[in-house]
A and B are shown apart, each in its own frame.
Chain A
Amino acid sequence: MMGPLLISIYVFVLAIFVGFEVITKVPPTLHTPLMSGANAISGITIVGAFYTAQTGNVALSNILGCLAIILATVNVVGGFMVTDRMLKMFGQKRKR
């Protein structure tokens, strides 16, 4: 009935809608943290990079895969950490 491509497209379109529904009316205070947090999530490509770097060969695919893992990890680790740093500053205010 439904090919894998069609299922993927369904998933994609529905996920976009979920995204819109979940994120509507984000307050301006959180624009930057939302952006940098979401950005860290886009580093999910790291998962794809693993598949292309799974042998010990010294081949272009492995080198590119390793580079991809480096970039994605920078994005993920840096992104989540820097977002946390920002949000910690927002949180402190309420204790004062």
Chain B
Amino acid sequence: MSPASSPSVTATLVPILYLVSAVVFIFGIKGLTKVRTARRGNLLAAGAMLLAIVATLIDLGTIDYRWILAGLVIGGLIGSIAAVKVEMTGMPEMVALFNGCGGGASVLVATAYLWYRVVEPAADGTPAALLGADSAVSSVLSILIGAVTLTGSLVAYLKLRGWIFGRRISGQPILLPGRHVINALVGLVALGAGLAAMFLPTGFGLAPLIIVAALASLVLGVLLVLPIGGADMPVVISLLNSYSGLAASATGFVLNNNLLIISGALVGASGLILTQIMCVAMNRTLGNVLFGGFGGEASAGGGGASSEYTNVKSYGAEDAALVLESAESVVFVPGYGLAVAQAQHVVRELADLLIERRVKVTYGIHPVAGRMPGHMNVLLAEADVPYEQLLEMDTINPEFKETDVVIVVGANDVVNPAAEKTPGSPIYGMPILKVYEAQTVMMIKRSLSAGFAGIKNELFEYDNTIMLFGDGKKMLQDMLAEVKAAG
């Protein structure tokens, strides 16, 4: 595919190396779906990437390597430092940023390719004729999808981090009036300008048209993610992950490179599967997540302001420890609040102490607990919780009836019985962890404030619920001390 420079040996060798690389990518991704093989799978994929890079350098032959080397060194340094330094609690932000980088790379490659082949040689005719209509159209798609991935991921990153320019921003959806019309118009501008650039003769302002297309796509990415609230982030991150793969595939169509097409498609499929899993776990359609602006307007129909609670039992750490002492089985239910309070290590210490005293301890993990798919699993793994103790929703739900104590740390909507019992509630139909069936439910929470859905949680008023008000980490530390003292 590179112009000239390829004698016949490399012309055959390189595609074969690409094929091997694609196959190893597939094995790598397959490995990532089982705990036992996951680490090897990741290493295989990294190896496939290295092979792809080497094959490409062979294909390019003798060229000037200065720009390439500079890019590799700078990027490698930034990437490795970021990967080593990031805290596990900052993982959703990191994933969002890396994702944005992938999308950004696709925009830049497509744009650079257009400049390299059409703008800089100042060729006559239309780009569609010069590059082939398929390459030309794909480059527009690559710019569009890549740019949406880039800025969408950056907005997601800012929402996850929770502040910008030193000011706090809320995870709440930001809803512009008439946003669907605006989005459609911006999308049409991006696509229209891009296609015009490809099918009009180069003299008609090729460069400005491409820049307009790229800018409109960048704006579109921002507009698409702004209206999506914090608790929907697992869906958004999965979807952006899928986009970054599709952008890479589109780049493959531009360059006629099957390796890019295949690897991009694999990533696209994996992102779509995760998106699907997340949507099912919230009983919502993808369209509803993307266009619904859930949480902002829903509270009106939720029935009653969230502050109106009666019959709430508030306990201190000492009383809670007393209850724990007579428990034979305990289930921890973590939520986003656990990540915010960084309480994962204390949870594990308390769990270890209970296990020492022959209490059966497990963890009930809701698929959308936290801000990205599998967020809780990563946090608890960091705190050395054996993954065998982490039970999925379907496994743990039948066991709550036989459970003595459930300790809910920083979760709210995913344990709200309204999802089962209140038709008309915004979360009605969402599968929840049935903690209310347990003997005693301890809710560790800062206040009675509503969760992301903005609705009342009747669980707080149940007879078997006790509220432990305070910072999650502090409260668990106090409980840990009390249980220790009592033993």
Contacts and interface: CB of A to CB of B under 8 A. Distances in A.
Interface string A1-33: 000110010011001111110111111111111
Given A53-B71, A59-B120, A93-B385, 8 more contacts: A16-B265, A31-B374, A33-B378, A41-B245, A45-B247, A47-B56, A66-B67, A94-B386
A54 B63 contact: yes
A37 B386 contact: no
Among B33, B94, B270, which residue has the most Cβ atoms of chain A within 10 A?
B270
Among B66, B95, B255, which residue has the most Cβ atoms of chain A within 10 A?
B95
A46 B390 CA distance: 37
19 contacts: A5-B132, A15-B262, A27-B33, A32-B373, A39-B95, A39-B102, A40-B45, A41-B29, A42-B241, A44-B49, A44-B259, A50-B68, A51-B255, A64-B108, A69-B75, A72-B105, A73-B74, A74-B79, A83-B42
A65 B441 CA distance: 57
Interface in B105-151: 105-106, 108-109, 111-113, 115-116, 119-120, 132, 134
Among A15, A45, A47, which residue has the most Cβ atoms of chain B within 10 A?
A45
Contacts of A27: 33-35, 392
Contacts of A24: 273
B78 A32 contact: no
B105 A68 contact: yes
A11 B35 CA distance: 29
B269 to A, nearest CB: 3
Among A15, A48, A67, A91, which residue has the most Cβ atoms of chain B within 10 A?
A48
A75 B263 CA distance: 14
Contacts of B116: 51-52, 59, 61, 65
A50 B102 contact: no
B153 to A, nearest CB: 10
Those 8 A-B pairs whose CB atoms lie nearest each other, nearest first: A73-B75, A19-B269, A69-B71, A31-B374, A78-B79, A31-B373, A77-B79, A56-B64
Contacts of B111: 64
Contacts of A28: 365, 367, 373-374, 377, 392
B70 interface: yes
Interface of A: 4-5, 8, 11-12, 15-20, 22-56, 59-94, 96
Interface of B: 1-2, 25-26, 28-30, 32-35, 38-39, 41-43, 45-46, 49, 52-53, 56-57, 60, 63-64, 66-68, 70-72, 74-76, 78-80, 82-84, 86, 88, 91, 94-95, 98-99, 101-102, 104-106, 108-109, 111-113, 115-116, 119-120, 132, 134, 237-238, 241, 244-245, 247-249, 251-274, 277, 365, 367, 372-375, 377-378, 381-382, 384-388, 390, 392
B262 A49 contact: no
B273 to A, nearest CB: 5
- Chain B facing A: main interface SS: helix
B98 A78 contact: yes
Among B45, B49, B60, B373, which residue has the most Cβ atoms of chain A within 10 A?
B49
Nearest to B237: A35
A40 to B, nearest CB: 7
Given A19-B265, A90-B35, A40 B75 contact: no
Contacts of B56: 47, 50-51
A37 B29 contact: yes
Contact of B102 (A43, A54, A90): A43
A72 B68 contact: no
Nearest to A53: B67
Contacts of A4: 134, 256
A11 B388 CA distance: 39
Contact of A78 (B83, B251, B269): B83
Contacts of A12: 249, 252-253, 261-262, 265
Nearest to A25: B33
A19 B115 contact: no
Contacts of B63: 54-55
A9 to B, nearest CB: 8
Among A31, A38, A64, which residue has the most Cβ atoms of chain B within 10 A?
A38
Contacts of A17: 269
Contact of A54 (B60, B70, B84, B99): B60
Contacts of B86: 82
Contacts of A78: 78-80, 82-83, 94, 98, 101
B344 to A, nearest CB: 11
A4 B135 CA distance: 11
A42 B98 CA distance: 10
A21 to B, nearest CB: 9
B120 A61 contact: yes
B79 to A, nearest CB: 3
Given A12-B261, A39-B95, A26 B71 contact: no
B449 to A, nearest CB: 27
Contacts of B60: 50-51, 54
B101 A38 contact: no
